């Protein structure tokens, strides 16, 4: 399996690459400007597209947002932090992303998973309940304004903010927390779940 | 002429008067320059000075330069001895310890500094970035010899990575406590410092239990893991997190990260410059902010200084560093600014990092 990792001028992209490595035989890292300026983007050769975290607001990344509108619903996309916010914004109105005070940078929260349907008995997901995850964000998703096409899989246990979403019909998943951070507990369990999700 | 003094290992310092100085030409990239030096002088012990701006001066050219200096410089050493500082002191016959105190004046007012902290915090709230290292120079006057100044201040500034680099136009005196990169036996180590406290007695309460200081260092650890992970296929490992570093005039916490590495110095610097702990996070955006809020070019300050021989090297992060040029002397200080920084306390931390210099505010 090959993955494309789209970097949004971030300083954690190489950590994401290291975290993803056990799942993929090859991970190609592209800067978002370069990738979305290419004529042929060879979408079909990748088993997963990862949208990296990054500075600023998701609405500042027009090319990534446009690209999300053009891809097939079966193209697997994982968005991390800013990446998740771009996924959410591409299918929701402007009120879906708002400033959060106080911003949380380099801080930890425990995950609180709300599991319904087939997820209810998913052992892999259950193993993530209550684990600490790293947070680097000053913007959050506003649950009442995000498209109903998204399921919220987990919130932060301490301040009840959206930490993890999945799209109901598209192969899209978003993580507000940073699975690649050294502050995140058992990052390999998150990777196991990603593997399973890709196989679904 | 003054000798060159550079930390080496344990309490031993490289001590030499016999070296050749090679400046990086303005039109050549630092990375290419270091590659050329490596090819020509692979076996030789070298002492290296690389500026903060590395190969991206365009980001900072609009700022005011305090002095003229090449963007990188290599001292190729023909003959040297390894000595302790007390041996060097004893051998320095002309040493005059009765030097006059130098009065330093910050080139940024307290009000200006506080306003800049608030600007950065506004950027953080907008999602632009997580942390920026805000710094400012202090200026003094002295006609004192650089070797005298080195020994005048070296006991005040406890530090593992002391350096005196003499020059015809400019002398560098560094009392850096921070290891930027060390490559020994194909293992690359970095030890970023973040978190500061003046008091040695309530170190635990003021620093160790402080969530803001913890987050400040955690961010930089993730940033440096990223920079190390960019070197190749090996994975960076966090060996220590929030270890104490007590220096008398100031107390810090630091972390240690390692990775297997076989890239040469120039390429490692290409991936890692400027250092994460003195720029901010995400790094690229924080460098833009530094270009916006700092009026003076950092040049040597927050660059890197140290030794290099074959594939091994050990370089400090050039903080707690004096630059003497003519009768002028500069010293810079700075603080990591995060959302929950208290601007007044950051100003106190800025002064704390002057380590008891006579500062006229």
Determine the pLDDT at residue A70.
92
Q: What is the DSSP letter of B24?
A: P
Across the interface, do A182 and B235 touch by the CB < 8 Å criterion?
Answer: no
Secondary structure E strands in A91-185: 97-113, 132-141, 150-156, 162-167, 172-175
Is A66 an annotated catalytic residue?
Answer: no
Q: Is the pLDDT of residue A43 over 60?
A: no
Determine the pLDDT at residue A39.
58
Strands B251-260 and B187-191, how do they pair? Answer: antiparallel
Q: Which of A20, A55, A56, A176 to mutate to test the interface with B (most CBs of B within 10 A)?
A: A55
Which residues make Cβ contacts (< 8 Å) with residue B199, sequence separation at least 6?
B206, B251
Which residues make Cβ contacts (< 8 Å) with residue A69, sequence separation at least 6?
A90
Which residues constitute the domain of residue A165? 2-199
Determine the pLDDT at residue B40.
98
Is A180 an annotated catalytic residue?
Answer: yes
Determine the pLDDT at residue A41.
63
Mean pLDDT by 10 residues, chain B (361 residues): 94 97 97 98 98 96 97 98 96 76 96 98 93 97 93 93 96 98 98 89 79 94 98 98 93 96 97 98 97 98 98 98 97 96 95 93 80
Determine the pLDDT at residue A25.
96
B340 touches chain A (CB under 8 A): yes
Reduced to 3 states (helix: H, G, I; strand: E, B; else coil), residue B12 is strand
Q: What is the DSSP letter of B161?
A: E
Which of B1, B321, B353, B355 has the alpha carbon at shortest distance from B172?
B321
Across the interface, do B226 and A15 touch by the CB < 8 Å criterion?
Answer: yes
Determine the pLDDT at residue B193.
97
Q: Looking at the 3D structure of chain A, how many domains does it have? A: 1
Which residues make Cβ contacts (< 8 Å) with residue B11, sequence separation at least 6?
B84, B85
Q: Which of B218, B227, B231 to mutate to test the interface with A (most CBs of A within 10 A)?
A: B218
Determine the pLDDT at residue B32.
98
What is the C-alpha separation between B150 and B323, in angstroms, rounded? 11
Using a pLDDT cut of 90, give the percent of chain A over it.
87
List residues in chain A touching B: CB distance below 8 A. 9-15, 17-18, 21, 54-57, 99, 101-103, 105-107, 134, 136-139, 178, 181-183
Which residues make Cβ contacts (< 8 Å) with residue A30, sequence separation at least 6?
A4, A5, A6, A7
Chain B residues within 8 A of A99 when measuring between CB atoms:
125-127
B236 touches chain A (CB under 8 A): yes
Residue from the list A12, A21, A106 with its beta carbon closest to the beta carbon of B218 = A106
Quote the distance between the C-alpha of residue A7 and its chain's center.
13
Residues comprising chain B, all counted: 361
Beta bridge partners of B174: B163, B321
DSSP assignment of B202-260 = THIIIIIT-HHHHHHHHHHHHHHHHHHHTTSSS--EEEEEEEEEE-SS-EEEEEEEEEE
User: According to CATH, what is the number of the domain B4-359?
Assistant: 3.60.120.10
What is the C-alpha separation between A41 and A100, in angstroms, rounded? 35
Q: What is the DSSP letter of B108?
A: S
Chain B residues within 8 A of A101 when measuring between CB atoms:
125
- Per annotation, catalytic residue among A32, A81, A137, A141: A81
What is the C-alpha separation between A149 and A169, in angstroms, rounded? 7
Determine the pLDDT at residue B202.
73
Chain A residues within 8 A of B131 when measuring between CB atoms:
105-106
Which of A85, A43, A7, A50 has the alpha carbon at shortest distance from A191?
A50
Which residues make Cβ contacts (< 8 Å) with residue B236, sequence separation at least 6?
A18, B224, B225, B228, B229, B257, B258, B259
Helices B343-352, B110-125: inter-axial angle, 10-degree rounding: 120
- Give the mean pLDDT of chain A: 94
Q: What is the CATH number of the domain that holds A169?
A: 3.40.50.880
CB B78 within 8 A of CB B45: no
- For residue B151, give both structure tokens: 């020994």
Using a pLDDT cut of 70, give the percent of chain A over it.
97
Across the interface, do A138 and B235 touch by the CB < 8 Å criterion?
Answer: no
What is the C-alpha separation between B130 and B226, in angstroms, rounded? 15
Across the interface, do B229 and A15 touch by the CB < 8 Å criterion?
Answer: yes
CB B196 within 8 A of CB B353: yes
Strands B304-309 and B46-50, how do they pair? Answer: antiparallel
Across the interface, do A9 and B282 touch by the CB < 8 Å criterion?
Answer: yes
Chain A residues within 8 A of B339 when measuring between CB atoms:
102-103, 105, 138
Determine the pLDDT at residue B263.
97
Reduced to 3 states (helix: H, G, I; strand: E, B; else coil), residue A78 is strand
CB contacts < 8 A, A to B, total: 97
What is the C-alpha separation between B219 and B222, in angstroms, rounded? 5
CA atoms within 13 A on the CB side of B134: 26
Across the interface, do B126 and A17 touch by the CB < 8 Å criterion?
Answer: no
Kindly report the nearest CA distance between residue B209 and chain A, in angstroms: 14
Q: Is the pLDDT of residue A200 over 90?
A: no
B259 touches chain A (CB under 8 A): no
Q: Is the pLDDT of residue A40 over 70?
A: no
Kindly report the nearest CA distance between residue A122 and chain B, in angstroms: 30
Determine the pLDDT at residue A42.
61
Chain B residues within 8 A of A10 when measuring between CB atoms:
282
Across the interface, do A137 and B236 touch by the CB < 8 Å criterion?
Answer: no
- For residue B343, give both structure tokens: 């601007």
Is A91 an annotated catalytic residue?
Answer: no
Instruction: Give residue limits of the domains in chain B.
Output: 4-359
- For residue B186, give both structure tokens: 């194909």
Determine the pLDDT at residue A44.
57
Kindly report the nearest CA distance between residue A12 and chain B, in angstroms: 5
Kindly report the nearest CA distance between residue B217 and chain A, in angstroms: 8
- Per annotation, catalytic residue among A8, A141, A180, A190: A180
CB B281 within 8 A of CB B223: yes
What is the C-alpha separation between B286 and A8, in angstroms, rounded? 14
What is the C-alpha separation between A88 and A65, in angstroms, rounded? 10
What is the C-alpha separation between B172 and B174, in angstroms, rounded? 6
Chain B residues within 8 A of A57 when measuring between CB atoms:
126-127
């Amino acid at each position: 399996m090959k993955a494309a990792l789209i970097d949004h001028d971030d300083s954690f992209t190489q950590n994401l690459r290291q975290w993803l490595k056990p799942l993929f035989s090859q991970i190609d890292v592209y800067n978002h400007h370069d990738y979305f300026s290419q004529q042929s983007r060879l979408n079909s050769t990748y088993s997963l597209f990862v949208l990296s975290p990054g500075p600023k607001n998701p609405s500042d990344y027009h090319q990534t947002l446009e690209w999300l509108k053009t891809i097939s619903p079966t193209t697997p996309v994982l968005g991390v932090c800013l990446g998740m916010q771009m996924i959410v914004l591409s299918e929701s109105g402007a009120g879906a992303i708002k400033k959060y005070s106080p911003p949380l940078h380099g801080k930890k929260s425990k995950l609180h998973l709300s599991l319904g349907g087939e997820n209810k008995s998913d052992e892999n997901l259950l193993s993530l309940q209550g684990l600490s995850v790293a947070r680097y964000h000053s913007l959050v998703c506003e649950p009442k304004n995000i498209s109903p096409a998204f399921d919220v899989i987990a919130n932060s246990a301490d301040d009840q903010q959206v930490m993890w979403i999945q799209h109901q019909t598209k192969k899209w998943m978003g993580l507000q927390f940073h699975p690649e951070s050294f502050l995140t507990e058992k990052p390999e369990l998150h990777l196991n779940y990603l593997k399973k999700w890709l196989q679904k | 002429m003054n000798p060159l003094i550079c930390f080496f290992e344990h309490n031993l310092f490289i001590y030499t008067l016999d070296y050749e100085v090679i400046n990086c030409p303005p039109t050549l990239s630092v990375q290419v320059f270091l590659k050329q030096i490596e090819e020509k002088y692979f076996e030789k012990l070298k002492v290296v000075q690389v500026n903060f701006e590395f190969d991206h001066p365009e980001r900072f050219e609009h700022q005011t330069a305090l002095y003229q200096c090449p963007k990188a410089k290599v001292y190729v050493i023909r003959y040297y001895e390894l000595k302790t500082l007390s041996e060097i002191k004893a051998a320095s016959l002309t040493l005059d310890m009765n030097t006059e105190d130098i009065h330093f004046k910050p080139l940024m007012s307290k009000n200006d500094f506080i306003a800049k902290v608030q600007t950065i915090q506004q950027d953080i709230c907008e999602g632009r970035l997580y942390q920026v290292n805000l710094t400012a120079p202090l200026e003094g006057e002295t006609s004192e010899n650089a070797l005298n100044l080195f020994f005048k201040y070296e006991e005040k500034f406890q530090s593992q990575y002391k350096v005196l680099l003499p020059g015809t136009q400019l002398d560098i005196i560094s009392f850096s406590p921070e290891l930027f990169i060390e490559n020994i036996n194909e293992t690359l180590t970095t030890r970023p410092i973040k978190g500061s406290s003046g008091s040695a007695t309530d170190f635990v309460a003021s620093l160790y239990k402080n969530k803001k200081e913890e987050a400040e260092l955690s961010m930089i650890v993730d940033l440096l893991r990223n920079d190390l992970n960019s070197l190749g296929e090996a994975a960076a490992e966090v060996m220590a997190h929030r270890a104490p570093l007590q220096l008398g005039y100031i107390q810090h916490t630091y972390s240690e990260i390692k990775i297997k590495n076989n890239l040469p110095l120039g390429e490692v610097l290409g991936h890692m410059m400027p250092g994460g702990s003195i720029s901010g996070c995400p790094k690229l955006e924080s460098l833009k902010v530094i270009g916006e809020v700092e009026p003076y070019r950092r040049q040597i300050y927050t660059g890197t200084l140290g030794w290099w021989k074959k594939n091994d090297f050990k370089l400090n992060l050039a903080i707690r560093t004096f630059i003497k040029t003519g009768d002028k002397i500069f010293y810079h200080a700075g603080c990591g600014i995060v959302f929950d920084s208290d601007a007044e306390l950051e100003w106190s931390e800025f002064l704390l990092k002057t380590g008891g210099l006579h500062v006229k505010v």
